[in-house]
């Protein structure tokens, strides 16, 4: 008689099969029957979501573990290449999330792409991309993860370069492919080192295999952790390799939604899968925090200067991915998963409704929150928000449990709360007191939800993710203080931007930020030497920069 875990894993194994069959059966003649391929893709995406729900309900009555269906032993102590499924809470959350987003994108694409010359091919590549990415999420084997990652890179590249006549789209897809292939190579080397040292090629066995090692860790495992961090940074389009993430806006809107609400999380997901190793090598966490902070600052400030809705959303993704890597670097993995879920749903909606957002910007803009005489109110709002965060965090045991990293991230949340309070504090009139009270209650609810969801995700993910690292020592305290200081600085810049833009020096900074600090030019010029499409894209980008510079 089959165990509940076996039944759950069998449901998961069959989950991406219809999507894969749709892509295979469509073949090169997909454009001849676009409506049929569109229906198959939508049906397959629906089947995947239903299967994910069935698997999640089955997991409630089963145990965590991996189920292997076929295996081939590899030479050179590399373990085994196997067709295996990893049944754990992280897999279930990501499966539900990606199948949900995938179905929405498939349904949206049915009308958005209708009438396109190569509509059938679009749905074919969409099916392949979803199937390979879902396989990446489910697999328990290192080498299966590698194969699925390479497949996702190839299929997504076809979607990103769907409009072959757009030089910018082709160039961005080429950049993304090169960076991801580099990340895949780095990940492959890391897996080779881990498999040879720990004698396992299964994610589920990592924690047990590492339990036999005590500090200091072998140099080969430290190198492997560094390679994993490098792969995650490249996959997450972190500064200064972020250019392609902004430029892929040339692709169809459903592709942007799928990328920003799903596939972009591959880097963070890799760190989460390798968290038993990453959590034991401290310097990799510090590196992820620093890279994440730089990307947060770059993405946030560049987003303030962007004049295009989809580009602003892309810069937002850059900053949010930096935030997720920072959370992983601090060891609060459950918060990173919570962040993935919330950001994915929000970003999918933002991209698919980006046309409606333009209509909102046609309405009269509200006056700047930060104006003359508001310094005291800003400080009052900050003090109230911090006190609220510390007080509510104490109720959830953050202070008694010495969870400094969670508290530091909670203080970052309090800065967002400060923005809410400032809107109420700067309001004058008869209803100002009621608005202040309402904003105060709303802010308390936001902070409470943050700590409550952190606790819930921590309990849910405890079987598959290691416990949060408790920072100790002055170096870690300085790092946490730096995180809070950076976000305070970003809040101040955001509020003062309308006023400081009147100064010539800041107007020059604005131009540089609008052009992404020119760090992407090196990669663009390097690729432009290899094709005419790249040269045309560089010319268009140069004209855009000159136009903005003269306008400013």
Half-sphere exposure of 380 (CA within 13 A, CB side): 13
Coil, helix or strand at residue 397:
coil
Q: Which one has a higher pLDDT value, 535 or 242? A: 242
Residue 498 clears pLDDT 70, i.e. is over it:
no
Choose the most confident range, by mean pLDDT, from 212-226, 274-288, 293-307, 347-361.
274-288
Residue 84 to residue 298: CA distance in whole angstroms = 40
Of 211-220, 283-292, 293-302, 353-362, minimum mean pLDDT range: 353-362
Average per-residue pLDDT in the chain? 82
Residue 248 to residue 158: CA distance in whole angstroms = 12
Helix (H) or strand (E) segment spanning residue 80: strand 80-87
Span 423-451, average pLDDT: 77
pLDDT grade for 381, boundaries at 50, 70 and 90: confident
Q: Which one has a higher pLDDT value, 77 or 497? A: 77
Yes or no: say if 454 and 435 are a contact pair by the CB < 8 Å rule.
Answer: no
Q: Which one has a higher pLDDT value, 402 or 138? A: 138
Residue 177 clears pLDDT 90, i.e. is over it:
no
Span 132-158, average pLDDT: 94
* Angle subtended at Cα 271 by Cα 232 and Cα 397, rounded to the nearest 5 degrees: 130
Residue 15 clears pLDDT 60, i.e. is over it:
yes
Yes or no: say if 389 and 465 are a contact pair by the CB < 8 Å rule.
Answer: no
Residue 70's φ and ψ, nearest 5 degrees, are -155, 145
Q: Which two tokens stand for residue 449?
A: 């939800």
Q: Which two tokens stand for residue 522?
A: 């090196």
382-393 confidence digits (pLDDT tens): 788 888 888 888
Residue 12 clears pLDDT 50, i.e. is over it:
yes
pLDDT at 215 (0 to 100): 67
Q: Which residue shows structure tokens 């396109």?
A: 116
Of 92-96, 301-305, 334-338, minimum mean pLDDT range: 301-305
Q: Which two tokens stand for residue 324?
A: 């997720």
In whole angstroms, how far apart are CA 542 and each of 166, 518, 533, 538?
A: 16, 11, 14, 6
Residue 460 to residue 56: CA distance in whole angstroms = 13
pLDDT at 548 (0 to 100): 41
Of 74-83, 252-261, 358-367, 501-510, minimum mean pLDDT range: 358-367
Residue 139 to residue 152: CA distance in whole angstroms = 14
- Predicted TM-score of the model (pTM): 0.88
pLDDT at 99 (0 to 100): 95
Residue 106 clears pLDDT 80, i.e. is over it:
yes
Beta bridge partners of 139: 85
Other C-beta atoms closer than 10 Å to the C-beta of 402 total 13
257-297 confidence digits (pLDDT tens): 888 888 999 999 999 999 999 988 888 988 999 999 999 99
Residue 54 to residue 69: CA distance in whole angstroms = 20
Residue 101 clears pLDDT 70, i.e. is over it:
yes
pLDDT grade for 543, boundaries at 50, 70 and 90: very low
pLDDT at 29 (0 to 100): 77
Residue 331 to residue 405: CA distance in whole angstroms = 8
57 contact partners, CB below 8 Å, separation of at least 6: none
Span 358-362, average pLDDT: 49
* Angle subtended at Cα 237 by Cα 407 and Cα 510, rounded to the nearest 5 degrees: 85
86 dihedral zone (left: phi>0; alpha: psi -120 to 50; beta)? beta
Beta bridge partners of 80: 73
pLDDT at 95 (0 to 100): 94
Q: Which one has a higher pLDDT value, 424 or 304? A: 304
Yes or no: say if 142 and 194 are a contact pair by the CB < 8 Å rule.
Answer: yes
In whole angstroms, how far apart are CA 277 and each of 187, 285, 398, 510?
A: 14, 11, 25, 41
454-484 confidence digits (pLDDT tens): 888 888 888 888 865 555 667 777 888 888 8
pLDDT grade for 20, boundaries at 50, 70 and 90: very high
Residue 422 to residue 370: CA distance in whole angstroms = 8
48 contact partners, CB below 8 Å, separation of at least 6: 15, 16, 18, 19, 99, 102, 103, 130, 134
pLDDT grade for 322, boundaries at 50, 70 and 90: very high
Q: Which two tokens stand for residue 288?
A: 């992820």
Percent of the chain residues topping a pLDDT of 90: 31
Coil, helix or strand at residue 236:
coil
- What is the number of residues in the chain? 552
pLDDT at 525 (0 to 100): 77
Residue 185 clears pLDDT 90, i.e. is over it:
yes
Q: Which two tokens stand for residue 7?
A: 């039944």
Residue 465's φ and ψ, nearest 5 degrees, are -125, 145
22-81 confidence digits (pLDDT tens): 988 877 777 788 888 889 999 999 999 999 999 999 888 877 888 888 999 999 888 899
Residue 459 burial by Cβ neighbours in a 10 Å radius (0-12, 13-18, 19+): exposed
Other C-beta atoms closer than 10 Å to the C-beta of 317 total 26
Half-sphere exposure of 84 (CA within 13 A, CB side): 23
219-230 confidence digits (pLDDT tens): 999 999 999 999
Residue 213 to residue 218: CA distance in whole angstroms = 8
Helix (H) or strand (E) segment spanning residue 391: helix 375-395
Instruction: Say which DSSP state 164 is in.
Output: T
């Amino acid at each position: 008689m089959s165990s509940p875990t076996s039944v759950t894993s069998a449901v998961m194994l069959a989950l991406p099969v219809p999507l894969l069959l749709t892509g295979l059966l469509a073949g090169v003649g997909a454009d001849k029957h676009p409506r049929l391929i569109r229906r198959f893709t939508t049906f397959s995406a629906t089947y995947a979501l239903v299967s994910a729900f069935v698997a999640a309900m089955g997991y409630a009555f089963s145990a965590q573990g991996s189920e292997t269906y076929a295996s081939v032993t590899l030479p050179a102590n590399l373990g085994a290449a196997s067709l295996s499924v990893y049944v754990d809470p992280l897999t279930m959350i990501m499966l539900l999330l990606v199948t949900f987003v995938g179905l929405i994108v498939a349904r949206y694409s049915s009308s958005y792409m209708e009438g396109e010359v190569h509509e059938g091919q679009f749905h074919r590549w969409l099916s392949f991309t979803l199937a390979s990415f879902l396989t990446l999420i489910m697999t328990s084997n290192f080498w299966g993860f590698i194969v699925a990652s390479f497949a996702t890179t190839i299929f997504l590249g076809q979607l990103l370069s769907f409009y072959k006549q757009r030089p910018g789209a082709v160039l961005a897809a080429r950049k993304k492919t090169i960076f991801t292939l580099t990340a895949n190579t780095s990940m492959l080397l890391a897996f080779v080192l881990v498999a040879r040292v720990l004698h396992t090629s299964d994610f589920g066995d990592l924690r047990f295999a590492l339990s036999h090692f005590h500090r200091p860790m072998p140099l080969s495992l430290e190198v492997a952790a560094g390679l994993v961090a490098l792969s995650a940074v490249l996959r997450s389009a972190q500064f200064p390799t972020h250019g392609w993430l902004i430029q892929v806006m040339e692709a169809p809107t459903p592709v942007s939604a799928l990328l920003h609400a799903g596939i972009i999380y591959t880097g963070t997901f890799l760190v989460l899968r390798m968290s038993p190793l990453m959590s034991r090598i401290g310097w990799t966490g510090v590196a992820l925090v620093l890279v994440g902070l730089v990307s947060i600052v770059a993405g946030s400030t560049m987003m303030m200067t962007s004049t295009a809705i989809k580009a602003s959303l892309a810069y937002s993704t850059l900053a949010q991915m930096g935030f997720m890597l920072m959370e992983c670097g601090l060891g609060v993995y459950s918060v990173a998963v919570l962040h993935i879920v919330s950001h994915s749903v929000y970003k999918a909606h933002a991209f698919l409704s980006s046309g409606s957002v333009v209509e909102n910007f046609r309405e009269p803009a509200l006056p700047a929150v930060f104006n003359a005489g508001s310094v005291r109110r800003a400080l009052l709002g900050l003090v109230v928000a911090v006190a609220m965060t510390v007080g509510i965090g104490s109720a959830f045991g953050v202070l008694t449990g010495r969870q400094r990293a969670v508290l530091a991230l909670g203080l970052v949340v309090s800065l967002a709360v400060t923005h809410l309070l400032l809107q109420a504090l700067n309001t004058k009139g008869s209803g100002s007191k009621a608005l202040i009270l309402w904003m105060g209650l709303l802010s308390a609810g936001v902070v409470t939800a943050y700590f409550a969801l952190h606790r819930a995700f921590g309990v849910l993910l405890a079987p598959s993710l290691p416990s949060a690292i408790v920072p100790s020592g002055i170096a870690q305290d300085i790092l946490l203080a730096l995180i809070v200081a950076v976000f305070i600085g970003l809040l101040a810049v955001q509020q003062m931007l309308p006023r400081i833009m009147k100064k010539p020096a800041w107007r020059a900074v604005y131009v540089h930020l609008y052009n992404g600090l020119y760090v992407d030019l090196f990669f663009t010029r390097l690729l432009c030497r290899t094709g005419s499409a790249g040269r045309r894209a560089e010319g268009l980008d140069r004209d855009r920069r000159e136009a903005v510079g003269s306008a400013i």
